[in-house]
Amino acid sequence: MSKLIYSDYLYYFFLLLFKVVLDYSYASVVSFEYSYSGFHYNFETKRFLFAWFLYFIGLIFIAPKVRLRLVSDYFVLTAYLAVLTPIIVIYGLDCERVFFPVLVTFLAVWLISVFSKISFPIKVPVVCGGENIAVIISLVFVVFLVFWYFYTGVVVNLDFSKVYLYRNYNSELSSFGVFAYTNTWTYQVFNIFLIVISLKYRRFLLCFLLLFVQVFFFAASTHKSILFYPILVFGVWYYFRFYSSLMVVPVVFSFVIFLGLFSYHMFGDIWLSSLFSRRVFFVPANLTYVYIEFFDFNEKVYWSNSILSRFLDYPYSSSVSRVIGSYLGDDSLGANNGFVASGYAHAGLFGVLIYAILTSFVFSLLNNLSKYGVQNWVVLSMSIIPVRALLISSDLFTTLLTHGFIMSVFLVVLIREGKKNAS
């Protein structure tokens, strides 16, 4: 295995490069093309240098070392680059932004980086024949959903330009009641699990069939992200079964941003920059500022829309995401965001701290599972999709239930062999 891929110097070079290209993307593309959406460029030298100082502090106290030793290392690095860094970039290039959201996010990601390394005394049982049970459960859900979509008469659409045309219609037909949960679990967890197992045993024909099923789920649900999930799994499988270097994360992140910059400046095409730089990195960062600004001056939710709904009255007439959408001037906008923003919406700084600690506990459990009988790439593949939602687009409890994080962990527990992996 090449020593180059484990070079600390090269690793930190790409971490710095990521910040450089993200700065440049915001200054030259995002703030220029999307200033009407709140992405403003107000440069001040002292502010810009201070933002770089904060980034260096994060490199020292948050970013994990180049070699992946715990599964949580991958997620901590992702949180540092995809959650914290864009917030720092916006703060550094728009002197009108306040510092408090940066501080809150920095504290949250730092707490996760510290507490996720703690090995909690959790005894996870080994289930005899667990892998077969997990496969059977997943197959039942996948086969049922295929028939369910046909039975309910949803419109099967493969045209990207028409996904929003059929989304509400298909959802009303097929995703009511308990099916709102089980349908999501099926294409985010169960079919993904079957793809993972087919890759584990190199059953590539079966994998191809499952990919076809995933495309069908996209056509029936019209959620474009469904097509993106297998790409994440294939990337994890292809890379992390051979290597344990985290260098791939800043390299890939920098590459996709650079690709957008190249397309924009060479051909005047905004699509790639909009898809990667704006949508993946800066929209969640901007919404974190908006959430904190709104709930600093308005009533907080205190989980009255979820786990405490029987005990507390929800203070708003629509969901939190719709409330923020209305605050931004668009009543039809559902402005979902990750654990920092949603935690603050519930209980301010206290809510963010609770979410950071609970997230750390979940990551510690994943570390535990990866140490005993489950390969790192399998644990990563099964958790990367719900963790992505947790970091940039969903509330913690919504991620655990609706996005199937609990179900993902359950399947990993079932396939656990109990033998300690070689470190």
The pLDDT tens digits of the residues spanning 236-287 come to 999 998 888 999 999 999 999 999 999 999 999 998 888 889 999 999 999 9
The whole-chain average pLDDT of the chain stands at: 92
What share of the chain has pLDDT > 90, as a percent? 75
Q: What is the pLDDT of residue 1?
A: 45
Kindly tell me if the per-residue pLDDT of 423 is higher than 50: no
When pLDDT is cut at 50, 70 and 90, the band that residue 3 belongs to is low
Kindly tell me if the per-residue pLDDT of 160 is higher than 90: no
Cα–Cα distance for residue pair 233/377, rounded to 1 Å: 9
Contact 51, 295 (CB under 8 A): no
Q: What is the pLDDT of residue 417?
A: 75
When pLDDT is cut at 50, 70 and 90, the band that residue 163 belongs to is confident
When pLDDT is cut at 50, 70 and 90, the band that residue 5 belongs to is low
Kindly tell me if the per-residue pLDDT of 93 is higher than 50: yes
Q: Is the pTM of this model over 0.85?
A: yes
188-209: average pLDDT: 96
Q: What is the pLDDT of residue 2?
A: 52
Burial per residue of 303-327, b for 16 or more beta-carbon CB atoms within 10 angstroms, e otherwise? bbbbeeeeeeebeeeeebbbbbbbe
Kindly tell me if the per-residue pLDDT of 389 is higher than 60: yes
Q: What is the pLDDT of residue 347?
A: 96
Torsion sign (Cα): 227, 130, 373, 181: positive
Kindly tell me if the per-residue pLDDT of 422 is higher than 70: no
Kindly tell me if the per-residue pLDDT of 325 is higher than 80: yes
CA angle 215-413-64, nearest 5°?
A: 85
Among residues 236, 202, 231, 200, which one has the least CA distance to residue 215?
231
Among residues 158, 220, 232, 157, which one has the least CA distance to residue 186?
220
80-90: average pLDDT: 97
* pLDDT tens digits, one per residue of 102-131: 999 999 999 999 999 988 766 777 888 899
